[in-house]
Amino acid sequence: MCGIAGFVDFRRRSTADDLRAVAACMTRQLHHRGPDDSGSWIDAEAGLFLAHTRLAIVDLSPAGAQPMPSSCGRFVLSYNGEIYNAQELRSELEAAGRQFRGHSDTEVLAEGCAVWGVERTVRRLIGMFAFAAWDRKDRTLSLVRDRLGIKPVYWGRCDGRLVFGSELKALQCIPGWRGELDIESLAAYLRFSYVPAPHSIFRNINKLKPGTVLEVLPDGELRQKVYWSLADVAARGESESRRFNDEEAIEALDSILGDAVARRLVADVPLGAFLSGGVDSSAVVALMQKASDRPVKTFSIGFREAEHDESAHAAAVARRLGTEHTEFVVTPEDARGVIERLPRIFDEPFADSSQIPTFLVSELTRRYVTVALSGDGGDELFGGYNRYGIGYRVFSALHRLPGPLRGSLGRAMSGISPAQWDGALSWMPASLRPRHVGEKLHKLAAVLPEDMQGYYERLASPGGDIWRALPGAAEPTLGPLALESRQAIPEARAWMQFMDAATYLPDDILTKVDRASMAVALEARVPILDHRVVEFAWSLPSRFKFRNGQTKWLLRQLLHRYVPQALIDRPKTGFGVPIGAWLRGPLRGWAEDLLDSGAGKDGLFDPAPIKQAWAEHQSGSRDWQHALWNVLMFEAWRREYSQTCLNETHTVTTC
């Protein structure tokens, strides 16, 4: 795993020394992503350079150094990722006459581009990747991102240059950099807890969308090509579902996911896995252990607060599978130490509070191994989120009622405070009563009048309406994608799965895992998001995902081949932290300092709704942890990048 960066100066103003200076700055900014080596490649005549920082995983020798030219010299690559079918592709390239210096997958990618071209090569890859390929003959730069968005690419225009990098911090090395805050992106962040692609927190800087090649022509013209479309895969799966009986489906998943896991065990460095004890990570570890001739190293973290602690479940699964297991218990003091680093790690505002345990488990894991497999993607592909289960059933039942009646019911439900709901329903057995039931009922009350799109966007909005504290901002929405995909994927649950996989997965989950792991130079591999597994999952009829009130039915059946059902089948917890309680306790002073010095002081926010949410949260009458965390993470980011690069016009300049 690595960091990539560079630019093309269309005005040809940059000397070779200028290019070297900027390249050196960019590699310093991305050193954490690749501490083993760094390099640059310069074409002063074209005004271009490629920069690279290397985390050596396969072929640790200098033969794997980057930027890497193809053997014919036509292509030069700066590449971040892993290609898991590199050996098969290498055999084809050797048969075509290509000679190799080492055994890195980078070299396979460079030779593939030279023989087959960039787009044809990318279509053949199994893996995660983001790379820049400079065609010295055609003077064309290609920026490429993998199918699911596992690896990041930011790009944009700055003072007559096309700039790109793995992280935003690298772009701030560009001469004349001005990072102007995009208010609409900020509003979307406040609602969804992340900035949805293709936007970034800065105007004129974008995220390259998954499955896309961006060609930069010599005259500066840009061409975007989609080489793989999740929307097409989902629509095709809905219309052409496979015909399996139960045992055939379980066997097929065992085979294809087993192959995806086995391919991700290739490394020249120590390797392990994250293990939460849930279905997804347990399935990945089970298949790892099946493919390994020695105990797999597994890692988990726990909390002192019982409702957030799954470490006992992880330990039980580890004992059953025979792994070499390590766990770490997180305290509020540990979290506070991480929080101060989050703005620098995530580089733009990001507020999924599970970023804290994700970083801590990555930091723990990196003490022992350099590569870790994770179970991310299982919920989106196999239907694991609560909104696909009980949420969908409640929505379907209530929407049989006339709209005016739903509105009246919603107003009546919201008239009772969450705390009162919690008290009124305390008689229910804990096994049947959802956690934070009062907050969930208030959320349900808000979505009762909505159609399916509105219902989904409400459920996918942890920040709720706190974005309204941003004067002049339009309501953030996922509208265009939602409307187009709703027509192609009419079944409601399948559509929600698609929306999660197209937005929340790359922009929240995978962003979180990439930044948290790469901050400590740990490579995280995600076998469930092998595109062959993705295409298989979308080809399945819904009965293989939802059955008898249970979600992720097929993935559970596969896991039961290796782990007893009693160890796995329990209510979904999620990888969260007790941030609500911490904001009332050990993090209160830190939060109040940020709010007092930031929100509302410069006219960016209307402070009244933020102050009201804070007061209600402190009193316990409402749980505003997600909305407040969104504001706090923005203010922490703003403080980090002001110093003061973020001036009164909300612009970041080079300090």
Q: Is the pLDDT of residue 213 over 60?
A: yes
**13 CB neighbour count, 10 Å cutoff:** 12
Strand-strand pairing, 222-226 and 212-216: antiparallel
pLDDT by residue (tens digit) across 316-329? 999 999 999 999 88
Question: What DSSP element (H or E) covers 635?
Answer: helix 625-642
Q: Is the pLDDT of residue 646 over 60?
A: no
The DSSP letter of residue 2 is E
Amino acid at 543: R
Residue-wise DSSP of 164-205 = EESSHHHHTTSTT-EEEB-HHHHHHHHHHSS--TTB-SBTTE
**219 CB neighbour count, 10 Å cutoff:** 7
Query: Where do the CATH 3.60.20.10 domains begin and end in the chain?
Result: 2-228
- Is residue 158 among the annotated active site residues? no
Quick one: pLDDT at residue 413?
80
Quick one: pLDDT at residue 544?
96
Identify which has the larger pLDDT, 310 or 565: 565
Quick one: pLDDT at residue 106?
97
Taking residues 499-505, what's their average pLDDT?
A: 96
Quick one: pLDDT at residue 444?
74
Mean pLDDT of the chain: 90
> Would you call 543 helix, strand, or coil by DSSP?
helix
Helix axes 492-499, 452-459, angle to 10 degrees: 40
Q: Which of 632, 640, 593 shows the shortest CA–CA distance to 613? A: 632
C-alpha torsion sign, points 301, 345, 574, 276: negative
208, 143 Cβ separation under 8 angstroms: yes
What is the arrangement of strands in the sheet containing 523-525, beginning at the earlier edge strand?
Answer: 324-330, 297-303, 271-274, 371-373, 523-525
Residues 204 and 190: their CA atoms lie apart, in Å, by: 20
Selection from 3-7, 595-599, 636-640 with the highest mean pLDDT = 3-7
Q: What is the dihedral of CA 514, 56, 90, 251, to 10 degrees?
A: -50
Quick one: pLDDT at residue 617?
95
Query: Where do the CATH 3.40.50.620 domains begin and end in the chain?
Result: 240-383+498-566
65, 58 Cβ separation under 8 angstroms: no
C-alpha torsion sign, points 224, 226, 230, 235: positive
Catalytic, out of 2, 25, 113, 158: 2
Identify which has the larger pLDDT, 424 or 640: 640
Quick one: pLDDT at residue 398?
77
Quick one: pLDDT at residue 645?
44
Residues 241 and 542: their CA atoms lie apart, in Å, by: 9
Count the helices and strands in the chain (H runs, E runs).
Answer: 29, 19
Residues 562 and 321: their CA atoms lie apart, in Å, by: 8
Q: Which two tokens stand for residue 45?
A: 């005549």
Q: Is the pLDDT of residue 545 over 50?
A: yes
Residues 436 and 623: their CA atoms lie apart, in Å, by: 9
pLDDT by residue (tens digit) across 558-579? 999 999 998 887 665 555 678 8
The DSSP letter of residue 228 is -
481, 502 Cβ separation under 8 angstroms: yes
Q: Which two tokens stand for residue 25?
A: 């700055």
Q: Which of 201, 284, 125 shows the shortest CA–CA distance to 638? A: 201
Taking residues 624-643, what's their average pLDDT?
A: 91
pLDDT by residue (tens digit) across 104-159? 999 999 999 999 999 999 999 999 999 999 999 999 999 999 999 999 999 999 98
Residues 624 and 439: their CA atoms lie apart, in Å, by: 9
Question: What DSSP element (H or E) covers 539?
Answer: none
Taking residues 465-471, what's their average pLDDT?
A: 94
CA geometry: angle 474, 354, 3, nearest 5 deg: 85
Strand-strand pairing, 297-303 and 271-274: parallel
635, 337 Cβ separation under 8 angstroms: no
Percent of residues, the chain, with pLDDT higher than 70: 95
357, 339 Cβ separation under 8 angstroms: no
**483 CB neighbour count, 10 Å cutoff:** 11
Amino acid at 632: L
Residue-wise DSSP of 256-306 = HHHHHHHHTT--SS-EEEE--SSHHHHHHHHHHHHH-SSPPEEEEEEESSG
Q: Is the pLDDT of residue 644 over 50?
A: no
Helix axes 588-597, 607-619, angle to 10 degrees: 170
Selection from 271-280, 330-339, 382-391 with the highest mean pLDDT = 271-280
534, 381 Cβ separation under 8 angstroms: yes
Q: Does 198 sit behind a cis peptide bond, omega within 30 degrees of 0 on the bond before it?
A: yes
Within 415-478, residue ranges assigned H as helices are 418-424, 437-447, 452-459
User: Model confidence at 649, in pLDDT bands (50, 70, 90)?
Assistant: very low
2-228 belongs to CATH 3.50.50.60: no
Q: Lowest-confidence range among 91-100, 116-125, 543-552, 642-651? A: 642-651
Q: Is the pLDDT of residue 307 over 90?
A: no
Residues 344 and 562: their CA atoms lie apart, in Å, by: 40
Quick one: pLDDT at residue 306?
61
255, 289 Cβ separation under 8 angstroms: no
Q: What is the dihedral of CA 583, 585, 590, 591, to 10 degrees?
A: 30
Amino acid at 558: L
Taking residues 175-202, what's their average pLDDT?
A: 94
Q: Does 644 sit behind a cis peptide bond, omega within 30 degrees of 0 on the bond before it?
A: yes
pLDDT by residue (tens digit) across 390-445? 778 877 887 788 878 887 887 888 778 777 777 777 777 766 666 667 777 777 77
Q: Which of 510, 395, 504 shows the shortest CA–CA distance to 460? A: 504
Residues 537 and 291: their CA atoms lie apart, in Å, by: 22
Amino acid at 322: G
Taking residues 48-59, what's their average pLDDT?
A: 96
CATH assignment of 240-383+498-566, given 3.30.70.330, 3.40.50.1100, 3.40.50.620, 3.40.640.10?
A: 3.40.50.620
Q: Which of 535, 624, 605 shows the shortest CA–CA distance to 241? A: 535
Amino acid at 552: K
> Would you call 12 helix, strand, or coil by DSSP?
coil
Q: Lowest-confidence range among 191-195, 212-216, 237-241, 354-358? A: 237-241
Percent of residues, the chain, with pLDDT higher than 90: 70
Identify which has the larger pLDDT, 177 or 528: 528
Q: Is the pLDDT of residue 596 over 60?
A: yes
Identify which has the larger pLDDT, 383 or 442: 383
Q: Which of 263, 230, 247 shows the shortest CA–CA distance to 83? A: 263
Quick one: pLDDT at residue 169?
95
Residues 50 and 6: their CA atoms lie apart, in Å, by: 5
Q: What are phi and psi of 453, to 5 degrees?
A: -65, -45
561, 254 Cβ separation under 8 angstroms: yes
State the number of CA atoms in the 13 A half-sphere of 3 facing the CB: 36
Quick one: pLDDT at residue 655?
33
Radius of gyration of the chain (CA): 25
Quick one: pLDDT at residue 574?
56
Identify which has the larger pLDDT, 197 or 642: 197
Q: What is the dihedral of CA 543, 547, 550, 556, to 10 degrees?
A: -60
Q: Which of 345, 381, 354 shows the shortest CA–CA distance to 514? A: 345
Strand-strand pairing, 271-274 and 161-165: unpaired
Q: Is the pLDDT of residue 652 over 60?
A: no
